[in-house]
Structure 1
């Protein structure tokens, strides 16, 4: 088993070994930003070729081999993170073999705040693993440019230790409370993202049916109050009718389902989020769930 490398380039306020699991559209640019800072990084991905394509770091054959003092996971949902722990090839065995007594497991995916809080309690009680939920906003462009926004939940002393590391691939990292708080903030973020994507898709659909030049329409929107990061990053998709790749509609729906769960638990009615949930349910039901969420445009025009 490959032993994770201890960081030898000093990051002010941080020391320890680091691994990243999940080198997909978000994980890969995060890894590249960490490596660009000359920080040794251990990488594992279910498809090894994707990890090797990063062109740096130490690519290992199992989660156990990736067991480091800090393990960053960039995976779709909590079940994929939980599946990393057990077995001979799991993180728990790897941490034990490496003699790491108090590992930190960072969850960068968007997960249920309720479920991740329970998961964190179980991990700390049963294995001494501290779980930090740190969902991301900024999309693949934000990840590539190292200017993600990170919403963090976890013990203050652990978050303080992680903050310099987060700074290698984010422009904003804010601690909101114990584990689960970060995912609650991400739910707030996703209401705005889903609403903005859908509003722009409706605007583009209306402009299209009126025979207007979508590029010119977007120029006007970008010059006024309707401008947004969504328009900046996603605007070409409506112009080019290109909805492949990107943040999928099924993941947007997953987030909206979490929002409904939180709202129900807090006894609050969120009418807009409920409408958005229905819209993305319709989109995925028609077979467009793997498309970028901007493809809600197709559902609107159907």
Structure 2
């Protein structure tokens, strides 16, 4: 195998664990670390080396990948990567965080002789399991080329979108679209049901026309069943929409529908549904419409 072979993977949640598994299936040597050990032990059965901490995972690695919940989590781990990483180590942060923080970490990495990419992903848990994620990458072109084989083991679409921070900016736009589309799909389902139309054939025909989208393809069945088992939690999408609003403010643009989607997601979280899948916006539309089904 040409290029990087030894990977340190930090963060083994809903997304990170299957991403690390796909690296193992592709033949990479993977050291894994997670604050709770269960996921690391499961990956050990596939050939991963459970590390005792960040420094242990990073030592000897060619590439370190982080998939963590929020900006402060990445920044804290980044300091440990700087301390333990050898010159030339490439850090690919695949979390969803503030674009400004990504730019700052890339500058710090360069000062210390390390390399950094922001490479957030889209595709949800199923995309992570299938190795079919869309990966939007910010950073130097040469570093993207070096990391590309590793990224392509986890994603079917890997696009270099610009300098450091650009990947996170595109991910913010992605999360804006996803929240808005989920809300509109939820409203369409409730409208169809309340009008006495069978929603299953309605969804099929909607998915085949101009209104077709990945939410209908991947999420509609669960939404119709009111099954909001988390694939991507409301808590995380709420955090991401905060990043969206901050990015829009920094760019000086107005996103009125995005701001409304952020309010609706925030309200859903405040109602105690932060641990539900983000499609639980449907339950909120049910309640607002007096339909009495709500969020499970």
* TM-score, L = length of structure 2: 0.91
Offset of 1:276 from its aligned partner?
Answer: 0.8
Name which of 112, 125, 128 aligns with 2:98: 112
Measured at CA, do residues 238 and 85 of structure 1 come closer, stay the same or move farther in structure 2, by a change above 3 Å?
Answer: closer
Residue 85 of structure 1, CA deviation:
4.1
Partner of 2:258: 273
Q: Which residue of structure 1 lines up, in the alignment, with residue 207 of structure 2? A: 222
Contact 1:66 1:94 (8 Å CA) reproduced? no
Q: Is the 8 Å Cα contact of residues 4 and 147 (structure 2) preserved in structure 1? A: no
> What are the Cα deviations for residues 104-150 of structure 1, in whole angstroms up to 9, with x where unaligned?
1111011111222123223332x333221000011111111111111
2:290 counterpart residue number: none
Partner of 1:84: helix, strand, or coil?
Answer: helix
Matched residues in 1 for 2:104 and 2:87: separation?
21
Please state how far the C-alpha of 1:93 moved relative to its aligned partner.
Answer: 4.0
1:27 aligned residue? 16
Shift of 1:274: 1.1
**Residue 94 (structure 1) aligns with:** 84
1:258 correspondence with 2:250? no
C-alpha distance in structure 1 between counterparts of 2:149 and 2:261, whole Å: 36
What is the CA RMSD across the aligned residues, in angstroms?
Answer: 1.5
Q: Is the partner of 2:161 in helix, strand or coil?
A: strand
Secondary structure of the equivalent of 1:149?
strand
Q: Alignment length, in residue pairs?
A: 283
* CA distances 1:179-202 after superposition (whole Å, capped 9, x unpaired): 100011111111211111111011
2:145 aligned residue = 160
User: Which of 104, 110, 126 is matched with 1:124 structurally?
Assistant: 110
Question: Could you say what secondary structure the match of 1:269 adopts?
Answer: coil
CA contact (8 A) 2:5 2:28 kept: no
The answer on whether the counterparts of 1:66 and 1:91 sit within 8 Å (CA) in structure 2 is no
Contact 1:249 1:292 in 2 (8 A): yes
162-171 or 127-136: which moved more? 127-136
Q: Which runs of 5+ in 1 are unaligned?
A: 1-9
Q: Which residue of 2 aligns with 1:4?
A: none
Take 1:15 and 1:207, find their aligned partners in 2: how far apart are those partners? 51
SS of corresponding position for 2:95: coil
Give TM-score, length-normalised by structure 1.
Answer: 0.89
Question: In structure 2, what is the equivalent of residue 6 of structure 1?
Answer: none
CA shift, 1:213, in A, is 2.5
Equivalent residue number for residue 199 of structure 1? 184
Task: Indicate yes or no: 2:49 matched with 1:74.
Answer: no
